[in-house]
């Protein structure tokens, strides 16, 4: 799936109600509020999509947490993506997008990447990767 298709899918659930700019702002606001409410909580997250492109260091992974997805009407919660994967795109920063330096696909350290991101943004939660939903 192309990156722009993934972004469009993220908003597709409510697109019929609002124009894209209003929907994007509303969903981002709900997402950030939900994250701020997670005081000292451990979230169980699972992988929903892993995308690798030709280059070894071009990849992305989608992570989901059912509680946040339900609260905010999201299809997934975060996308971790390498700079190599977004080269040449006009991808704008979004709250759910975590862009990292190019590195080989690090499934074992995905948890650390999101937890570090949360600390840097001032959130007080941690995540724990589960292999399957639920």
What is the reported pTM?
A: 0.71
| Total domain count, the chain | 1
Give the C-alpha distances (Å, rounded to integers) separating 94 from 43, 79, 97, 104: 20, 10, 5, 23
SS3 38: coil
102: left (phi over 0), alpha (psi -120 to 50) or beta: beta
Residue for token pair 């996308």: 79
pLDDT at residue 16, rounded to an integer? 44
pLDDT confidence bin for 17, thresholds 50/70/90: very low
pLDDT tens for residues 34-76? 888 887 788 899 888 777 766 677 888 888 888 888 888 888 8
**Residues in CB range of 68: below 8 A, 6 or more apart:** 31, 34, 35, 43, 74, 77
Q: What range does the domain containing 124 cover?
A: 3-130
């Amino acid at each position: 799936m192309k990156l722009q298709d993934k972004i469009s899918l993220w908003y597709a659930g409510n697109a019929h109600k609002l124009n894209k700019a209003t929907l994007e702002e509303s969903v981002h606001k709900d997402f950030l509020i939900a994250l701020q409410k997670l005081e000292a909580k451990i979230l169980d997250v699972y992988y929903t999509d892993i995308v690798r492109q030709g280059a070894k260091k071009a990849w992305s992974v989608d992570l989901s947490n059912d509680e946040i997805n339900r609260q905010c009407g999201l299809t997934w919660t975060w996308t971790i993506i390498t700079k190599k994967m977004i080269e040449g795109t006009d991808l704008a920063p979004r709250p759910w997008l975590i862009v990292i330096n190019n590195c080989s696909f690090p499934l074992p350290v995905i948890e650390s990447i999101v937890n570090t991101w949360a600390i840097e943004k001032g959130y007080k939660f941690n995540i724990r990767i589960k292999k399957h939903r639920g």
